[in-house]
């Protein structure tokens, strides 16, 4: 499989290393500053990489969204967080002409966590829910795209939900429809997501901890391997 990388930060550097260990080929990268010394050829546009079988994106909305406005038909795996709705809308439009894959978190374990929530939330309708995520001190967006995904799952299964991000500004008790959302940043934490169900005299906690960023890179490579064999369409872990 010949792979075009969109962005060449820490994540796509891992993708390159792991992909080559699996005998895939990195044919180039799309970056904004092509004057730096990169180990691969650089491209300005996705369509310039005519030899590629698939593109894998770990970048940012500022780089990705303009590229998605261009004319190309290369299968693409997108893992960028931020501007989620805009990115998904554009990918769904592109999916008429190519297979595309999107996930806010490329870990299959996180996908399994969403399925666990789909089972747990209907059983725990009277429980309060609090969501907490923790990441390294270089992560710029908060809350994480994964936590937003977890909230969306919960909101789809409860009649009324209100995300609450900052309680220190209010001096009133918690309402039943509140879903507390909390972000922690520090050190080199790879990624932790906790869901707390708090009932009367009992609590249930579900936790996912990433122990290496390799799980996200491998998840993207695995998605790409399947995507290139699929028909045109919009794919997630649910249908790939």
Active site residue 135: yes
Helix (H) or strand (E) holding 161: none
Active site residue 139: yes
Q: What is the rounded CA–CA span in Å between residue 49 and residue 64?
A: 15
DSSP 169: G
Options 135, 149, 208, 213, the catalytic residue = 135
Ramachandran region, residue 104 (left: φ > 0; alpha: ψ -120 to 50; beta: rest): alpha
Inter-residue contact 108 to 226 (CB < 8 Å) = no
Options 84, 111, 136, 139, the catalytic residue = 139
Inter-residue contact 98 to 76 (CB < 8 Å) = yes
Residue 72's DSSP bridge partners are: none
> Which residues belong to the active site?
135, 139
């Amino acid at each position: 499989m010949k792979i075009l990388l969109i962005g060449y930060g820490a994540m796509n550097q891992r993708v390159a290393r792991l992909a080559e260990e699996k005998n895939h080929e990195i044919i180039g990268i799309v970056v904004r500053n092509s004057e730096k010394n990169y180990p691969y050829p650089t491209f300005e546009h996705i369509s310039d990489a005519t030899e590629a079988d698939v593109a894998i994106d770990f970048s940012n909305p500022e780089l990705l969204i303009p590229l998605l406005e261009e004319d190309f038909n290369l299968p693409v795996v997108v893992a960028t967080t931020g501007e989620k709705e805009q990115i998904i809308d554009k990918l769904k439009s592109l999916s008429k002409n190519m297979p595309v894959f999107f996930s806010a978190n490329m870990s299959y374990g996180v996908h399994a966590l969403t399925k666990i929530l789909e089972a747990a939330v209907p059983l725990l309708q009277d429980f309060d829910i609090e969501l907490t995520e923790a990441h390294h001190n270089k992560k710029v967006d908060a809350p994480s795209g994964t936590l937003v995904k977890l909230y969306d799952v919960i909101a789809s299964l409860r009649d009324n939900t209100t995300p609450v991000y900052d309680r220190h500004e209010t001096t009133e008790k918690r309402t039943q429809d509140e879903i507390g959302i909390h972000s922690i940043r520090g050190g080199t934490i790879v990624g932790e997501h906790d869901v707390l169900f708090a009932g009367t005299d009992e609590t249930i906690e579900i936790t996912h901890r990433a122990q290496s960023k390799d799980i996200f890179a491998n998840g993207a490579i695995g998605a790409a391997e399947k995507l290139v064999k699929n028909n045109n369409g919009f794919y997630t872990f649910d249908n790939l």
